[in-house]
Amino acid sequence: MGRAQAAGHADLRVMDIREHAPGKHRQCDDSPYGGGAGMLMKVDVVDAAIQAARGESQAKVILMSPAGRPLTQAVAQELSKEAHLILVCGHYEGIDARVESLVDDEISIGDFVLTGGELAALVIVDAVVRLRPGVLGNSASPEEESFSEGLLEYPQYTRPRSHKGQDVPEVLLSGNHARIDAWREQQSLERTRARRPDLLKQD
């Protein structure tokens, strides 16, 4: 990510939501109406932070939320085409439900709960920025990776040719690119069927 930013392929910035909270103590959370455990982030403070981050741009605003649509490679590819993304990270017990009306999308990185949305945002940043043109050294890499075609990536090998009785498959040493492509396609399908059959059921 550092190299991507240094090369001008990405412009990553962090905004402290608390800086947009009024008053001496910069309070950005409060107890929930109706009672309950924990504290909720205040809608007015989050709204002010979003507006400050948006400026005059047509940014796409995304809320990190366990109730959001799952992050997939297809979603990452979709987001990589956006010129400006704002990722809103909840904290504490949660966030005022009215914030949902201020965002364009909600995304979840999995069926589990974190103490805040910051780690989820970092996952999205990494998944998205690496798809931007010029970020990866090999432009073909994103197209050949797991999930890019809805399947897991085929197994890959490098030197040494043999290690503790395990040899590199002969087809990869053949120099026959048609055979290699066919082998990789078959291996990708078999690996997906064995390890992630749920991906095949989506077709």
Encode pLDDT of 156-175 as tens digits.
999 999 999 999 999 999 99
pLDDT attached to residue 51: 97
For 2-129, which CATH class? alpha beta
Q: Are 130 and 142 in contact (CB under 8 A)?
A: yes
Encode pLDDT of 93-128 as tens digits.
889 999 999 999 999 999 998 999 999 999 999 999
- Whole-model pTM: value is 0.86
Domain-by-domain residue ranges, the chain?
2-129, 146-201
Distance CA 41, CA 57 (A): 25
pLDDT attached to residue 122: 97
At the topology level of CATH, where does 146-201 sit? Answer: Trp Operon Repressor; Chain A (1.10.1270)
Reply yes or no on whether the pLDDT at 88 is more than 60: yes
Q: Which two tokens stand for residue 87?
A: 């990722």
147-150: long-range pairs with CB below 8 Å, 24+: 147/72, 147/73, 147/74, 147/199, 148/73, 149/188, 150/199, 150/202, 150/203
